[in-house]
């Protein structure tokens, strides 16, 4: 993907790397849980293979207490410096700038207020408005501070351990997290959280639908930037979607895939929804919730 040059002054970046950045064991206190905690807990399962479905009940209750975002320290670096730290940082910033450019007009057209997310770089551990950030979680979105948290080392992990390398695979990850920002702005994220609280039995399925929608939104962004796409990019994205599908992750961890324990959807589902976004280029085609069986 040939991401365009961007003006660092037009994007929001926070840097917790280096001195004054994330402490080794930040946060610690409980109480800042919500859907994000669920997302985060589930993201952990990616790498640890822990079955976290049992945790959902507890987290859901904790979600009721979702409140203060705490104060996330702004490291004293500017976006330009942070984006230029290395090639992966620069690429992440460029992807963010492109995502802003693509989504803002769609919100304007729809008459829904838009605000940019911030991109937060951290190394190994950091702090988010949703609690501690740990590399092992993989990238995540925190709705309470509207932040996309990323340890760019994850990309090496993705390439080496998950077999999902390539710049478009990385852009897909950013675009997926941005998809969660879109869901926060449209109110979908809150709706899902309330539905999960009302109906804990469907919490997991709702979670998966939300993740698949973020995949579809990632595809929509790609579709709206077709001119930047290079040969092989789409395959790279679909391969990444396959490699991070729940059944594939479980199988690679030596476990039998159990659908009830899925958090992001199967490889087939993730590919299907990413592809749908890419093929239609229409965010309205990303309704992963209709047709959901009522439980």
Between strands 147-150 and 118-121, the pairing is parallel
User: Rounded to 5 degrees, what are φ and ψ at 120?
Assistant: -115, 115
CB of 250 to Zn ion, least distance (A): 17
Rank residues 218 and 223 by Cβ distance to Zn ion and give the closer one: 218
Rank residues 100 and 183 by Cβ distance to Zn ion and give the closer one: 183
Rank residues 40 and 214 by Cβ distance to Zn ion and give the closer one: 214
Question: Hey, what's the torsion of the CAs at 249, 150, 161, 55, to 10 degrees?
Answer: -30
Rank residues 21 and 237 by Cβ distance to Zn ion and give the closer one: 237
76: CB partners within 8 A, 6+ apart: 20
Q: How many C-beta neighbours within 10 Å does residue 81 have? A: 13
Q: How many C-beta neighbours within 10 Å does residue 258 have? A: 12
Q: How many C-beta neighbours within 10 Å does residue 84 have? A: 12
CB of 78 to Zn ion, least distance (A): 28
Rank residues 223 and 244 by Cβ distance to Zn ion and give the closer one: 244
67: CB partners within 8 A, 6+ apart: 31, 32
Rank residues 59 and 214 by Cβ distance to Zn ion and give the closer one: 214
User: Rounded to 5 degrees, what are φ and ψ at 12?
Assistant: -105, 120
Rank residues 211 and 236 by Cβ distance to Zn ion and give the closer one: 211
CB of 217 to Zn ion, least distance (A): 10
CB of 110 to Zn ion, least distance (A): 22
CB of 141 to Zn ion, least distance (A): 7
Beta partners for residue 131, in sequence order: 128
CB of 180 to Zn ion, least distance (A): 6
Residues that bind Zn ion (CB under 5 A): 211, 214
192: CB partners within 8 A, 6+ apart: 35, 183, 206, 207, 209, 210
CB of 261 to Zn ion, least distance (A): 16
Residue 286 in contact with residue 216, Cβ under 8 Å? yes
């Amino acid at each position: 993907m040939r991401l365009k040059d961007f003006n660092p002054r037009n994007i929001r970046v926070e840097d917790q790397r280096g001195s004054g950045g994330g402490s080794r064991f930040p946060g610690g206190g409980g109480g800042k849980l919500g859907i994000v905690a669920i997302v985060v807990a589930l993201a952990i399962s990616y790498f640890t293979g822990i079955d976290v479905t049992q945790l959902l009940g507890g987290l859901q209750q904790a979600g009721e207490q979702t409140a203060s975002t705490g104060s996330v320290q702004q490291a004293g670096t500017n976006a330009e410096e942070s984006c230029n730290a290395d090639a992966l940082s620069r690429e992440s910033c460029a992807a963010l700038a492109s995502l802003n450019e693509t989504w803002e007009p769609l919100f304007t057209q729809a008459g829904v207020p838009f605000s940019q997310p911030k991109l937060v770089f951290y190394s190994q551990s950091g702090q988010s408005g949703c609690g501690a950030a740990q590399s092992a979680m993989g990238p995540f979105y925190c709705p309470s501070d509207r932040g996309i948290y990323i340890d760019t080392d994850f990309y090496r992990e993705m390439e080496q351990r998950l077999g999902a390398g390539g710049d478009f695979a990385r852009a897909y990850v950013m675009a997926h997290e941005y998809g969660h920002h879109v869901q926060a702005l449209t109110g979908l994220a809150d709706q899902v959280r309330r539905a999960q609280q009302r109906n804990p039995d469907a919490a997991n399925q709702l979670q998966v639908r939300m993740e698949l929608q973020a995949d579809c939104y990632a595809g929509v962004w790609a579709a709206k930037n077709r001119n930047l796409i290079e040969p092989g990019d789409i395959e790279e994205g679909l391969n990444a979607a396959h490699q991070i599908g729940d059944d594939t992750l479980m199988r690679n961890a030596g476990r039998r895939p159990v659908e009830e324990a899925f958090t992001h959807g199967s490889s087939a589902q993730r590919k299907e929804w990413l592809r749908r976004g890419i093929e239609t280029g229409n965010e309205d085609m990303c309704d992963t919730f209709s047709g959901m069986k009522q439980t």
